[in-house]
A and B are shown apart, each in its own frame.
Chain A
Amino acid sequence: MQARRRLTLRQRLRRDGMLVLLAVPGIGILLLFEYIPLLGNVIAFKDYQPFLGIGESPWVGFENFMVLLRGDQQFLNALANTLIITGLQVLFVFPAPIALALLLNSLLSERLKRLVQSILYLPHFLSWVIVVAIFQQVLGGSGMINNYLRSQGQPTWDIIGNADWFAELLTAQVMWKETGWATIIFLAALSQIDPGLYEASSVDGASRWRQLWHVTLPGLRGVIILLFILRLGDVLTVGFEQIILQQGAVGLNASEVLDTYVYNNGIINGQWGVSAAVGLVKGLVGVALVLGANKVAHIFGERGVYQR
């Protein structure tokens, strides 16, 4: 008998037909709701009329993109807000779990560490509606902090629904929800650092701070760079659910970002083509940034997201 006989298509079909059938529902859902909608992005190049459908609507070339290039006021406002919020988040949200992981890692008691982790991971599993509601209860006009200030005869602290503090509030909410959970990946990287390095440096007389600088942080560098590159892909994506929930109270001027612009302008106001164009550009910019940053990482001799 031959060890490896090439089967005919018919034989393979008889052998694996059932297997392929099992894949049908899952693949079907992915094709219908991930791939075909991707093709729907052609409406960025069309003057989409709901009653005509995607196929019949007239082509308009880059007209929808030109509307944006000519400086649509709402669009520029959304772009500016997105960049401000992203900037704040990269500055504060990104380093917070690194610091927290270092702190957790330095705890000597394993049980205490596990207890703290259980508490700090919890907010990650809550929906944004719950997180926003909790923030209102604590920081809102009749919330915990302001009730206390009032009872002490102090002026209240107006932060919920305040356009001037909106970007900061969003950043605080993301930190509250995700910092604990985000430590996991850094803790894993920390546990991979060779203990021999600490022993050697300690024999050489390095203080704990010098060990942090010369052993721990270099050990984390790969993970930090990897996550930073991935974060770049989301530069134009700032918490859509989180923002749309709080938009009513703050007003569009301070709270409109690209994703909410796509939603408000497209689905609510029927400017389908322009909104799809924004969505498309946003997606492409994300991919381009990840690939570009990865390239830069390779040039500097780092591993990046994938290896060459």
Chain B
Amino acid sequence: MNAAPSLAMRAVKGVVLIICCALVLVPFLGVVSTSLADQVQVINSGGFVLFPDNPNLNAYRSIFAGGVVTRAVLISVIITVVGTAISLASTAMLAYALSRPGSLAHQPLLMVVLMSLLFTPGIIPSYLMVKQMGMLNSLWALIIPTAVSGFNVIVMRAFFMELPAELIESARIDGASETRILLRVVLPLSKAVLAVIGLFYAVGYWNAFFNAMLYINDNDKWPLQLILRTYVVNNAMLGTDQLGTSEALPPQQSIQMAILVIALVPILLVYPFLQRHFAKGVLTGAVKG
């Protein structure tokens, strides 16, 4: 471009950027600090602590003592792992089946996937469908209905179609079946796209809240996001009964923030990866569009 901007302009920009970053970072700092703070400091500060004086892990010990939160974390982990496995398998199979133009029923099957991107069926009919299938109040209701995303199928299909056709052709001449080609040739060459789409699904399962609220009545089957809503957003009392411990509890606000941290940690762990690849994914969709 042209000459560097004036000093005043640079100062204004710097201040705006610092404010933007602080708006994101300070709340995170507060959440983590409060989860580590002790009773005295939480009371003195009126609730939310930015810098803990005597950081301790009591809040984490109490939520992992075996009560409702522990169970919800387990359920969320199970849903995320099983769901991601099912999603990845069915998405990869469908994407591979659609990766060869001219094959039997290619056109109509592709249309089914593409059209599903255009609409969402609506809350009531979806609910009735899940009810009809007898999945109400079952953890399967949190996995099966959202297991396949048409968008992810299209992305994966595009990737499969870029693979060298000679590899697949020669495997077929050697007499390999389609399943064998998929497992032995295509998937090993597609680790990157599998990882990205797997994370995409995993984040979705981990964060899913509304389907659990809609389909799960039984408190025993609540995933972590519903625990968060009840005990953190709606401030329901979390006592020794719910937490399954007989020890004296750390301050309520510390426990709440510890639950929040537990819900955040998996996202933060995969975030560097997400950021790099998701931004790229958004761009392929947008620029080529």
Contacts and interface: CB of A to CB of B under 8 A. Distances in A.
Interface of A: 12-13, 15-20, 22-23, 25-27, 29-41, 43, 54, 100, 103, 106-108, 116-123, 125-130, 132-134, 136-138, 142-144, 146-147, 150-151, 176, 180, 184-185, 188, 192, 195, 198-199, 202, 208, 211, 223, 240-241, 244-246, 248, 259, 262-263, 266-267, 272, 275-276, 279-280, 283, 287
Nearest to B149: A30
Interface in B232-287: 232-234, 253, 256-257, 260, 263-264, 267, 271-272, 274-275, 279, 282-283, 286-287
B56 interface: no
A40 B129 contact: yes
A199 B2 CA distance: 7
A307 to B, nearest CB: 11
B124 A108 contact: no
Given A127-B209, A137-B257, A30 B150 contact: yes
A271 to B, nearest CB: 10
A199 B1 CA distance: 7
A251 B146 CA distance: 31
A136 B48 CA distance: 10
B126 A263 contact: no
Contact of A103 (B2, B17, B203): B17
Contacts of A272: 124
Nearest to A25: B90
B104 A16 contact: yes
Contact of B207 (A127, A176, A188): A127
Interface in B102-128: 103-105, 109, 112-113, 116, 119-128
A185 B54 CA distance: 44
Contact of B90 (A12, A26, A39, A143): A26
A22 B16 CA distance: 52
Contacts of B98: 23
Given A121-B275, A266-B124, A134 B5 contact: no
Given A125-B267, A136-B233, A137-B257, A147 B128 contact: no
A30 B206 CA distance: 21
B178 A245 contact: no
Given A37-B126, A136-B233, 9 more contacts: A20-B104, A22-B94, A26-B93, A37-B121, A123-B24, A134-B260, A144-B30, A184-B279, A276-B125
A15 B104 CA distance: 8
B119 A283 contact: yes
B46 A142 contact: yes
Interface string B122-150: 11111111000100000000001111101
B122 A37 contact: yes
A143 B46 CA distance: 8
Interface string B193-209: 00000000001001111
B90 A38 contact: no
A133 B228 contact: yes
Contacts of B45: 147
B214 interface: yes
Nearest to B121: A37
Interface in B167-189: 177-179, 182
13 contacts: A20-B103, A26-B94, A118-B275, A125-B271, A125-B274, A127-B208, A129-B263, A133-B232, A185-B283, A266-B124, A267-B123, A267-B127, A272-B124
Contacts of B129: 32-33, 36-37, 40
B81 interface: no
Nearest to B20: A120
Interface in B14-53: 16-17, 20-21, 23-28, 30-31, 34, 45-48, 50
Contact of A122 (B24, B97, B209): B24
Task: Give the 4 A-B residue pairs with the shortest CB-CB distance, closest first.
Answer: A26-B94, A40-B125, A127-B207, A37-B121
A37 B123 CA distance: 9
Nearest to B99: A19
B125 A38 contact: yes
Nearest to A11: B104
Nearest to B282: A184
Nearest to B5: A208
